Structure 1
Amino acid sequence: MFLSIKKKKETTFGTPNSPNQKASFLMLLQELGKALQFPVALLPFAAILNRFGALGVTFTTDANGVITNDVGYWISFIIQKPGSVAFDNLPLLFAIGIAFGLAKDHRGEVALVSAVFYFIIAVMNAEHGLPEMMYKNVLTFEWHKTVEGQAQSGFLSSLFYVKNFAGDGKTVVGGSYVLNVGVLGGIVAGCFSAYLYNRFQNVKLPEALGFFSGRRFVPMIATVVAIPVAFSFAIVWPWIQYVLMLFGQAVANPNNPAVAVPGTAVYAMLNRLLLPFGLHQILNTFFWFQLPIGGPVIDPITGHIGSQTIWANGDISAFTKGIQGSGFFQSGFFPIMMGGIPMIAVAMIFAAKKENRKKVSGFLGGVALVSIVSGITEPIEFSFVFISPILLGIHAVLTGLFVAASTGMGIEVGFGFSAGLIDYIVSFAQSWGFAASKTGALGVTSNPLWTLALTAAAGGVYFIVFYTLITKLDIQTPGREHDVPPSLAANVEVKNAESKTETKVTVATLVQNANIEPVQPKVVVAPKTDKVVVAKPKVEQAKTEKVVVAKKVAKPKVEQPKVVKPKTDKVVKPKVVKPKQPKTEVKDLTNDLVKKYDAKLSTKKIVDEEAHAKLEVIERAKVDGSAEITEARSELQKHASSLRAEAKKQGIKLKDANLRNMTKKELIVYMKNTALKINS
């Protein structure tokens, strides 16, 4: 029975290769998750530089930003800026990295195209851009301020501006433009650019425009496509941000536990759910930098309550000034970022396949340490959020629960950068003062030391939940990736760019194209003392083995073997040459493949061998035809390993080769070459 495989154009990323749409969608998510590893790999070291540099800058400047220690400040500045540039330009890095990862040949041109694509989206949606053209007079608020004795006023749209308040916390003196396409803009730019590159990289234009053919055509088509994409963001994005801002205003009452506990919980859940799209920054902008918070100032350590009420915009600023009731939108993240999320990385290490565990431990262990120390969690979270929405949902729920617990206990811990160990230590004195100012049960439960207990609890819960889900649901987190499922490979349809005709290809054809032939031993029959008999070869085109006999022995003819009588007194009995036979698994495996799978498969020729060799094994398998070989890769590796052992046993030197890092086709070629050496 033949499996119908049509040779069609190679599909660009995101095109289902099988009727199994669910599996295709999961494969697409996995492909996107792998592409995200390019920009995410920059973050751990950048986070360390950024955090320690920022800490140094803080200690070498006063409250007004005046430098108090020149040497310390400039050293800290030099350390911080190389790290902060990665986070300041995270959307651009995502655009470049995703496009490069999703492009079929991983060339630099697509990265350049994606950067331009993102810039078009971002610039057209910046202040005084397309959103203002469409919604300038929609949902406006009025502002008033005096500049050099001159009264000024105006109107701004709430869709993309948030109010700026005067020192009294009531008078609106202007607005801050908050519309930002963010990380989602970078992801969209990367995906569109990769799609357009894969689709048009081989396009041919008329001879007069030949210079713009092929890859040079992609920037032009990408620029054209970016314009309607930018318009789409301008139409939809302001309304999404506005709804999130309304939610923030509804739950922003930290002094009312009936509102604060569920409010901070919902905020924390949305914060994690919106992370993959960059929308969490909208909520953070309001709660951390815009939310008006007023109250008396609490002294650090002593907890003395001041007599005057002051106002600050944002929870971070209010906590820094020691305003009572601040820190509730920050404190609950410490148990998550110091305990919960690092244990996600540990769970992924334990859930990885044994042969991959050592490889993933270096990266995951490093980013777990970064999360604990600095509170930078993106490297861990982006390693699973696009692979498994289920894990993202569970992560959001657990975050909401622990943030609610922290708020209910009255814990107030703040940060200037993120909820890591460094910020916990820096803010400990102020947090102790907040706890000391409270009475009754809250005076005990609000102690910042309880944050460490919540951190330990979050770590244990996260490890158990994530390890169980990853292993039971077989989620392909780092180190657990599978080969292409046989059900998908058997139904795959591949387009031939030059022909629409249907072509039949069998496994035997695949073996032949891979230069693989069943190994047959050469047959030699030992002669008696008075004659030499050369057996007629049973295998067609087999080479006749030379036989050592006495002088004047006639050369045998294969068609009609002749008997030659040597001199009886000088007859030398030839030695029987026993051919060295490889283990029969190679022959059996090849025969079984042809016998069991008389299917139509196609092979792919590698154009650039050097570039191909630098790819990861999963990427090489996508382009060398391994996806069409449905035989289990583990079985192929087992046979190859057995054959290698036989060669070494016979004293045959082989080149060092890592069988675990070979594709299915590479394993078959290795088996063939080893068998030939054994029989040579």
Structure 2
Amino acid sequence: MDKKEVLGKFQRLGKVLMTPVLILPIAGILVGLGSAFTNAALIKAVPWLGSIVPSMFFSLCKVAGNVVMNNIPALFAICVAYGFAKSEKATAALCGFIGYMTMNTVMGTFLTVLGTIDPKNLATGQSSILGIVTLDTGVIGGLLVGALVAWIHNRWYKIELPPVLSIFNGTRFIPAATIVFCSLCGIVMSFIFPPIQSVLSALSDFILGSGALGSFVYGAAERLLLPFGLHHFVYLPFMFTSLGGTATIDGNLVTGAANIYSAIVSSPSADFDIDISRFVMNGKVIFAMFGLTGAALAFYHTALPQNKKKVAALMIAAVIPCFFTGITEPLEYSFLFVAPILFVVHALMAGLAYALAFLLNFNVAGSTAFGGPFLSLIFNGIMGASKGSNWQVILILGPIYFAAYYFLFKFLIIHRNLRTPGREVEEQEPDSAEVSPTGDIAEMIPRIIEAVGGPDNIDSADACFTRLRLVLEDPSLIQEDEVFTKKLGANGVIRVSGGIQIVYGNKASLYATQMRETLGME
């Protein structure tokens, strides 16, 4: 496998990992809601919240949300197996869960017999996972099992066995093979993972000790890698492995910044820790709610007079998900392709936001795992003031960032004559025979298929938040970018190794579904 193929695999993995991450917002909201309204200080101020009905309701919200938050590795195993399976994906997903449970059961039993694990006195790096006492491999274990199951599945899901074993032909062979291979994986992990835990702990200490500079690099790199679809690899390891820290909260050992932050929110006594908060995107609260809103206003004020109404509608639609949920891509993609310099400036400003949040001890999570910036500011910031959220920092940094983005973007747009929204050069109207970019998706799909080389050139069609992701046999058959942006309604095009990513905003998933149906894909 050459370098381009490896990059393509990583890009696909980034897309697959978004599936479990997208489950986290509702779980984060439930945990935040439940924890906020069962907080002792709030109950003292509003006594009726301590009565049986509201107390039970909000307690159930919290435990329901923690079902997801506490089992992210299992979800990763399922989603990776599903995402990389070529066909019969339901079987692969089921085997992802079976494999994850098998690995943990075998590893835990093996180490307990050897005396490495004492179920009554668990050491650092050991945990009870879905009732199984074992090593806590975090999402690394989930990713490993998911990849192993995908390999098993793709290799043998069409297997033909001798007549005496024919009952196990095809996909019925996969669960048996999964149990065997994941049992071996559990034994191997029993020997190699403890040293890995030590390395991660040492690296975690280094990262946690890097202070404001580390926070700047963390925030800037996460944004700069967005166009390549690799930004997930900046924050996911910190959020869900010991790179993001290890802490004991209310007597329970918790690993990963997202898990620790959630445990702090749920705890009646634990206070926020900036060394944890910086890895759950505290800086995003600043630039997503205020910075990019200022940028949107700059785009409106620098648009040509005849285009202002159109730009206003576009910016309002893009700012709403950015401000409330932290989904910044619709707004970022409005200028990423036409003015890359603005995106670089934005990435640097994002890194600065993380550094300032660290220096000012701003402990409000901005990740979608906690409902996004707006809800997190309410439930984890304002309602978590007693835990040291220091949410008041946003009252100062928010307006500063709004103004900084507005004036800096406006200056660069005017002085460099950037073709940001509303400043485009007049273009000829498309031929009447062409399909309008705003036309029906079903009518658009055949034209997109033709533009990427025809149905035989498409291996797979998927989507993330805003991009239709196509894996192609021969990327050289792709037509010019202008075909997609001028005739097929795309906001932009990203050519990647082995395929293309076409930006269609919030309708990207609809394009992917329609394309799979048109091509007869699963």
TM-score relative to the length of structure 1: 0.43
Alpha-carbon offset, residue 33 of structure 1: 2.4
Segments of structure 1 that go 5 or more residues without pairing to the other structure are 1-15, 138-153, 163-176, 253-259, 292-313, 351-357, 378-393, 433-446, 469-582, 584-600, 607-611, 642-657, 668-680
Q: Closer, same or farther in 2 for the Cα pair 1:279/1:101, shift >3 Å?
A: same
- Match among 223, 233, 236 for residue 276 of structure 1: 236
- The 1-side partners of 2:477 and 2:382 are apart by 56
Quote the residue 2:393 is aligned against: 450
Secondary structure of 1:111's counterpart equals helix
Alpha-carbon offset, residue 191 of structure 1: 1.8
For the 8 Å contact 1:203–1:213, the answer to whether it is kept is yes
Provide Cα deviations, 1:630-653, integer angstroms capped at 9, x if missing partner: 566976999999xxxxxxxxxxxx
Alpha-carbon offset, residue 88 of structure 1: 1.9
Secondary structure of 1:204's counterpart equals coil
- Match among 304, 311, 324 for residue 369 of structure 1: 324
- The 1-side partners of 2:196 and 2:291 are apart by 30
Establish whether residue 224 from structure 1 lines up as the match of residue 180 from structure 2: yes
- Match among 386, 407, 423 for residue 380 of structure 2: 423
- How many aligned positions are there? 385
Quote the residue 2:189 is aligned against: 233
Question: Percent same amino acid at aligned positions?
Answer: 20
For the 8 Å contact 1:61–1:73, the answer to whether it is kept is no
- The 1-side partners of 2:395 and 2:216 are apart by 19
For the 8 Å contact 2:462–2:469, the answer to whether it is kept is yes
Quote the residue 1:329 is aligned against: 275
Secondary structure of 2:246's counterpart equals helix
- 2:9 maps to amino acid: L
Alpha-carbon offset, residue 288 of structure 1: 6.4
- Match among 177, 195, 200 for residue 156 of structure 2: 200
Quote the residue 1:22 is aligned against: 3
Q: Closer, same or farther in 2 for the Cα pair 1:290/1:629, shift >3 Å?
A: same
Q: Closer, same or farther in 2 for the Cα pair 1:453/1:605, shift >3 Å?
A: closer
- 1:69 maps to amino acid: S
- The 1-side partners of 2:242 and 2:203 are apart by 11
Establish whether residue 122 from structure 1 lines up as the match of residue 104 from structure 2: yes
Secondary structure of 1:114's counterpart equals helix
Provide Cα deviations, 1:104-123, integer angstroms capped at 9, x if missing partner: 22531111111111112233
- 2:246 maps to amino acid: F
Secondary structure of 2:101's counterpart equals helix
- The 1-side partners of 2:324 and 2:112 are apart by 41
- The 2-side partners of 1:403 and 1:95 are apart by 31
Quote the residue 1:43 is aligned against: 24
For the 8 Å contact 1:103–1:194, the answer to whether it is kept is yes
Provide Cα deviations, 1:501-543, integer angstroms capped at 9, x if missing partner: xxxxxxxxxxxxxxxxxxxxxxxxxxxxxxxxxxxxxxxxxxx
For the 8 Å contact 2:117–2:126, the answer to whether it is kept is no
TM-score relative to the length of structure 2: 0.54
- The 2-side partners of 1:620 and 1:263 are apart by 37
Alpha-carbon offset, residue 132 of structure 1: 7.9
- Match among 75, 79, 85 for residue 93 of structure 1: 75
Instruction: Within 5 Å, give how 1:65-80 maps onto structure 2.
Output: 68-80=50-62
Secondary structure of 1:39's counterpart equals helix
Higher percent of residues as helix: 2
Establish whether residue 215 from structure 1 lines up as the match of residue 192 from structure 2: no
Instruction: Within 5 Å, give how 1:42-191 maps onto structure 2.
Output: 42-58=23-39, 68-126=50-108, 129-130=110-111, 133=114, 160=125, 179-191=135-147
Quote the residue 1:7 is aligned against: none
Provide Cα deviations, 1:361-399, integer angstroms capped at 9, x if missing partner: 999965863459xxxx9xxxxxxxxxxxxxxxx999988
Alpha-carbon offset, residue 58 of structure 1: 2.8
- The 1-side partners of 2:115 and 2:319 are apart by 45
Secondary structure of 2:136's counterpart equals coil
- 1:99 maps to amino acid: A
Look at both structures and tell me which one has the larger radius of gyration over its CA atoms: 1
For the 8 Å contact 1:264–1:400, the answer to whether it is kept is no
- The 2-side partners of 1:81 and 1:156 are apart by 23
- 1:25 maps to amino acid: V
Indicate the RMSD between aligned Cα atoms, in angstroms.
6.1
Q: Closer, same or farther in 2 for the Cα pair 1:638/1:620, shift >3 Å?
A: same
For the 8 Å contact 2:284–2:354, the answer to whether it is kept is no
- The 2-side partners of 1:275 and 1:240 are apart by 19
Alpha-carbon offset, residue 412 of structure 1: 6.9
- The 1-side partners of 2:291 and 2:11 are apart by 18
Segments of structure 2 that go 5 or more residues without pairing to the other structure are 128-132, 223-232, 252-261, 298-312, 329-344, 413-432, 434-453, 490-509
Q: Closer, same or farther in 2 for the Cα pair 1:329/1:228, shift >3 Å?
A: same
